[in-house]
Amino acid sequence: MTLRLPGADGGLRSYEPRSEPLALTPGTPFTSRTVFSAAHVVADPYADVSPDSPAALDWDATLAFRRHLWSHGLGVAEAMDTAQRGMGLDWAGAAELVRRSAAEARSVGGRIACGVGTDQITGGSLERIRAAYEEQLAVVEESGARAILMASRALVAAARSPEDYLDVYGHLLRQSSEPVILHWLGPMFDPALKGYWGSSDLDAATGTFLEVVAAHPDKVDGVKISLLDAQREIDLRRRLPPGVRCYTGDDFHYPELIAGDEKGFSHALLGIFDPLGPLAAEAVRVLDTGDTAGFRELLDPTVELSRHLFQAPTRFYKTGVVFLAWLAGHQTHFTMVGGLQSARSLPHFARAYELADRLGLFPDPKLAEERMKNLLSLYGVNR
């Protein structure tokens, strides 16, 4: 069966889907890297909601996807950007997601870390921002999960100097019961975070970020860098105190950053590992054997798909992630909280399907093909 897929030029091209998926099965835990996949949420397609309503989730499908990731040895980074925090998922929904996912992790022995932010408020004083962080930190710690201190829109709006960041983060780290992961999310993922750490100059911002880590190395498990700048991440990780991990959040350069060099490597906390889960897990197990070339051979071909999903405006990458989850059979529909399924074009979806299919990511290629045909038909293609 040949599909006619729309291209960015406005025309149609022929594509012949592959007939067999990659043969990827669950395997042993990783030994050389700590790897988290930031996981998407599955909307309830029958909920009578509007784009600005509180999120309505399909809990069974949402938790089943997390079990899928855990079965392949990946950790789950919960209630993060990939789960549409601040783009359809409010704090009430995120808190419930944290509690349910943490309980599910305990039941299957899965690794989990959860996002802590300030999205229950829209602004206010530094004191109010600290209190918002504290409320979310308490929920995550009570669930038994590791905390990820996420960047705060409220903090970047209220802070007047780098010292304000040092004060807020220092306060939170002193009171955290376990080491946390610090997350620096760049403005390409959220334009409201421009100037985080007190400066739009990335060198100055990096200095403040590292100052926070250096002041509390015993309370920082690691740092997650999402700036899409490989050299900056490498330079930063070489300046981290001993024992503090660098988790790459670079969805453009992750193979070389995870592989590392003679001076070190990055662990991973990536949104692209949501659709790549089984393949990424297989690659890391190859790396565990010391076979860096084999690792790169498996993972390098996935970068084209990742760059496509994360193309500007990067914050809409979640749409492509959920689209691929639907094609792969992890959910029965392509509906997203906040109506975000409308955030990408049909040519974008067509290219995502083609790239994922070539990689063998769909467990049932025929199902993916039929669902792609249905989407094309909805848009008036192939009728």
pLDDT in tens, 113-136: 999 999 999 999 999 999 999 999
pLDDT of residue 383: 57
In the predicted model, is pLDDT for residue 38 greater than 80? Answer: yes
Q: Residue 1 pLDDT > 80, yes or no?
A: no
The predicted structure's pLDDT at residue 52: 85
DSSP code at position 341: G
Contact of 308 with 355, CB cutoff 8 Å: yes
Lowest-confidence segment of 4-8, 147-151, 196-200, 366-370 by average pLDDT: 4-8
182: tokens are 């610090």
Distance CA 44, CA 348 (A): 24
Percent of the chain with pLDDT over 90: 93
* Token code pair at residue 338: 């906040």
Provide the mean pLDDT of the chain.
Answer: 96
Whether the per-residue pLDDT at 244 is higher than 80: the answer is: yes
pLDDT band at 25 (very low <50, low <70, confident <90, very high): confident
Predicted confidence at residue 210, as pLDDT, reads: 98
- Residues 61-81: what's their mean pLDDT? 97
Q: How far is CA 209 from CA 151, 161, 197, 231, in A?
A: 11, 13, 6, 17
CA–CA gap between residue 203 and residue 208 (Å, rounded): 9
- At residue 296 the predicted structure's pLDDT band, cuts being 50, 70 and 90, is very high
Rounded mean pLDDT of 149-159?
A: 97
Q: What is the mean pLDDT of residues 300-312?
A: 98
**Which pLDDT tens digit goes with each residue over 307-324?**
999 999 999 999 999 999
